[in-house]
Structure 1
Amino acid sequence: MRAEELKATTIRSFLWKLFEQGGASVVTLLVQVVMARLLAPTEFGVLAIMLVFVNVGNVIVTSGLNTAIIQAPDASDDDFSTVFWMSLAVSLALYAALFVAAPAIAAFYAIPQAVAPLRVLLLVLVVNAYNAIQEAIVARSLDFRKTFRATVSAGVSSGVVGVAVALAGGGIWALVAQQLSQQLVKCLVLAAQVPWKPRAVFRPERAARFFRFGWKLLASGMLEQGYQGLSDLLIGKVFSTSELGYVSQGKRYPNALGALLDGAIQPVMLSAAARVQDDRDMVKRLARRALKTSTFFVAPGMLAFAVVAEPLVRLLLGEAWLPCVPFLQMYCIVYALLPIQSTNLQVLNGMGRSDLFLRLEVIKKLLGICILAFTTFVLRDLTAIVAGYIVTAVLSTFVNASPNRRVIGYAYLEQVRDICPAFLLSALAAAIAWPLSLTGLPDAALVVCQVVVMVVAYLGVAALLRVEELGYLVRTARGVLGTRGK
């Protein structure tokens, strides 16, 4: 694919991915706000414990095979069916094992009411065995319009289901119904758009090839999900499910914002890099553009979220959820570093270097587990636990970036220089907007004023200093709209 054609395809794909993430984030925010007002923090804490097992299970089900399909230049319909049957077999075996283990899990955390909900929620694993193949096919073709339709439809439908069950007094079942229906609807809408259907075909030699690539991503995913889930499991056991609910909610919203801003860019970057993986210079240009563009959005978005956190939580969730504010603000710092983490990892996947991906995950998780153990068992403080994630995130930026100095010639210091303008501008804009919190304005007015001031200050100073990222975005917008750029 020629450079101009790849650029045009990548930009179109990014816009559809942005629409998908934006629509999903808006719907998710509205649903979570309503359900947070209908349900107690304890119920969100119980969900967080159950999702640990679901998320780890999803990693095992896909086994890195969906990424292997995206990365492979010669994947065929037979390959899609081969991978599907592998994933389905794993999902059924895993579901059976966790179905039997559900009473023991519930007893360990003293939440006997979670046995049946956990068993139902685990059906997500079987659905995702099919859904993962559909999403891989869409990503290979860079046709993210299809996932946009599926994701938004699923978000709206599952939101209606979840809120209806909550209003009927369903408690934890409302959260289970929302999670399961979201995956079911997404799978069905994608199935209506993606012509592929599984066939009775299994190619052992192709399965072995994909697994040789995918097992490293499986191990990496297990480390990541296990590490992320370990914090929830420890908090739920050492502290309480109510306190876990506050931490979980504090993480949920920055995570959703990160998925919107960075998540729209990185999947497109993976697919584009896989197409030109033999052109080292082209991959570096793609990586730089993805990192700079993502940081230009993510850094100010996270700092703005941290600035308005208290009035926003009070306004949307109510006074009962104010204890989650400090956690939300700290997670904003963690997710502000998301672009440099994900860009480097997507480059390795796109270049087929899952071996390096796994090595990085082992190093990062050893660091993270040491910090988590110290903050949990020595300090025994929730704030220290979340602060430990900030330390881990900072250290991980160096770990993730280090291999790409030799893989594509993109060194860590060069990456830091590329993201510095966005972080410095964001800090300046936040410093200008924060004093408004001292004015005594009503919550709604305060949130609006602080966001407006941050946006104007950020974009105004960026334009004044002729920041390259802003110029690129303006030229790209003009191109998309069909006008002539300078």
Structure 2
Amino acid sequence: MSDLATKATKGLKWSALERFLTQGIQLLITLYLAKLLGPTTFGLVGMLAVFIAIANVFVDSGFTSALIRKTDRSESDFVTAFYYNIAMAAVCYLVIYFSAPFVANFYKLSELQTLLRVLGLTVLINAFTLIPRIKLNVAMDFKTQAKISVLSVLFSGPIAIILAIKGFGAWALVAQSILNASCATLLFNFFAPWLPRACITKKSFNYLFSYGSKLLLSALLDVTYNNLYQMIIGKKFSPAMVGQFSQANQLASVPTSTLTGIIQRVTFPLFSQLQGDPDRMVNAYRKTLKLSALVIFPLIVGLGLIAKPLLTSLLGEQWQQAAEMLTVLCFGYMLYPIHAINLNLLQVTGRSDLFLKLEVIKKIIGLIVLLLSIPYGVLAMCSGFTFTSYLALLLNTYYTAKLTDLSQWQQCKDILPIWLSVIFAAVLGYAAGLYISQVWWQIGVNLVTALLVYGAYLFLAQKPLLLKLRNKTAPLTV
């Protein structure tokens, strides 16, 4: 096995461990906080998520991807990115601070003003992790990142729970964000210390901004669009409904963001190093696509299958609407890791202009679907979100096909049989538990039936892929 394949394999394992541990612990903490605090409290913080997310996009400005992609990166590149990001973080926080009264007035909730000003501090804190994080990603050192993420969650989560029990409400969630960011920043700079030892150069800035600015615009569109749902729900409906949607959205996105993060962090540097050998890059791309679908589709659809009995039994009937939304959202989110693989290939080929064009097209379509679904309620908005996810897959594979020798049909053909088998297994699993009244028996029957059906399909139709997944020399061997 080549040194690159070994690094990719090791990186994949540690990245997976870091994501699953971090997100798993965070999920448990979030569920307990949801039970303690209720939908309305979660809704208050959920309304502010878009402003923090947009600020973080500006702070990064696509420089992270630009530095990872560049094979001859210099110290001046790092220094230029560092000072730019710190300056942008300061500007973004000032904007957040002075716009907080207008945000509170927009939602007609005065308490949002102080909440936003304090929560906005995470933008400043996170800016100091940029260079250490990039250096660890370039080295594909996900073991260190796993330590940092897990320690940060273990530090911030219990404190948030204590504050929630003591009656601090939304401030428990804000405190968790601040403490998590602070702990991660300290640990990144402890495990991967770095100090600027060169000067800002125009050449470095021109490269970083030329490549990153298009990614900035596409990321800005993506973040704004994804958080637009919570803004509209908060304005048109109520904080409690925002809380319901936020909880459903988070539960659906946790496994997908976990798996997407693993795939992006490993495949982007991997594809970057293979960009001079198109055949090997396409081979690695196809393997990643199929293996991702093999693992991700059943996990996400399985969550949607048991969403209602699981959520209402754990959190209470007050979260029933969130359970219904979760089922619908899972069918859209199951494709997100596949989207990430498609888009990584576009970025690696240097077509950030095409990346931006694609994001604009998808967001225009998504916005039209969103506006059409608003009059029919939040569940209809969730259905529209899922519909646009499938349209996005068609668009992503179309543009990927234009840059490689791999046709759009071949890309869809690689994952379509797996998708069909997962849906079929889920339908049979749902039918098997339909008339079982005891919640945990119902969940067990749902999952066991679906897993048996899916397992039979894998054994009969995907045996070579299963053997590749079991291969200790790793599925990403290129």
- CA shift digits 1:176-214 (9 cap, x unpaired): 111121122122222221132334631222011111000
**1:457 corresponds to 2:445:** no
Q: Which amino acid aligns with 2:390?
A: V
RMSD: 1.6
CA offset at residue 440 of structure 1? Answer: 2.4
CA offset at residue 326 of structure 1? Answer: 1.6
Q: Distance in 2 between matches of 1:353 and 1:218?
A: 14
Kept in 2, the 8 Å contact 1:158–1:178? The answer is yes
Match of residue 400 from structure 2:
404
Match of residue 43 from structure 1:
41
Aligned residues: 474
**1:391 corresponds to 2:387:** yes
Q: Which amino acid aligns with 2:209?
A: F
Q: Distance in 1 between matches of 2:446 and 2:24?
A: 20
Kept in 1, the 8 Å contact 2:432–2:449? The answer is no
Match of residue 416 from structure 1:
412
Match of residue 483 from structure 1:
none
Determine helix, strand or coil for the equivalent of 2:196.
coil
Q: Which amino acid aligns with 2:269?
A: S
Alignment of 1:304-323 (within 5 A): 304-323=302-321
Q: Distance in 1 between matches of 2:128 and 2:71?
A: 21
Q: Distance in 1 between matches of 2:309 and 2:377?
A: 25
Alignment of 1:138-153 (within 5 A): 138-153=136-151
Kept in 1, the 8 Å contact 2:29–2:161? The answer is yes
Match of residue 9 from structure 2:
11
Match of residue 113 from structure 1:
111
CA offset at residue 432 of structure 1? Answer: 2.9
Which deviates the most, 210-219 or 348-357?
348-357
> What TM-score does the superposition give when structure 2 sets the normalisation length?
0.96
Match of residue 484 from structure 1:
none
Match of residue 19 from structure 2:
21
Taking only the aligned residue pairs, the percentage that are identical comes to 30
CA offset at residue 315 of structure 1? Answer: 2.1
Q: Distance in 1 between matches of 2:452 and 2:131?
A: 43
Determine helix, strand or coil for the equivalent of 2:261.
coil
CA offset at residue 443 of structure 1? Answer: 2.1
Q: Distance in 2 between matches of 1:89 and 1:466?
A: 51
Q: Distance in 1 between matches of 2:329 and 2:321?
A: 14
Distance 1:441 1:7, change over 3 A: farther
**1:78 corresponds to 2:66:** no
Kept in 1, the 8 Å contact 2:11–2:142? The answer is yes
Q: Distance in 2 between matches of 1:195 and 1:89?
A: 20
Kept in 2, the 8 Å contact 1:261–1:297? The answer is no
Kept in 2, the 8 Å contact 1:262–1:294? The answer is no
**1:208 corresponds to 2:225:** no
Match of residue 157 from structure 2:
159
- CA shift digits 1:94-119 (9 cap, x unpaired): 10111011011011101111211111
Q: Which amino acid aligns with 1:275?
A: Q
Q: Distance in 1 between matches of 2:66 and 2:355?
A: 13
Candidates 314, 323, 326, aligned match of 1:325: 323
Candidates 148, 173, 176, aligned match of 2:174: 176
Q: Which runs of 5+ in 2 are unaligned?
A: none
> What TM-score does the superposition give when structure 1 sets the normalisation length?
0.94
Determine helix, strand or coil for the equivalent of 1:106.
helix
Match of residue 381 from structure 1:
377
Q: Which runs of 5+ in 1 are unaligned?
A: 481-486
Kept in 2, the 8 Å contact 1:300–1:422? The answer is no
CA offset at residue 439 of structure 1? Answer: 4.0
CA offset at residue 421 of structure 1? Answer: 2.5
Q: Distance in 2 between matches of 1:241 and 1:198?
A: 44
Q: Which is bigger in relative contact order (C-alpha 8 A, separation at least 6)?
A: 2
Match of residue 430 from structure 1:
426
Q: Distance in 2 between matches of 1:201 and 1:14?
A: 35
CA offset at residue 380 of structure 1? Answer: 4.1
Which deviates the most, 74-83 or 230-239?
74-83
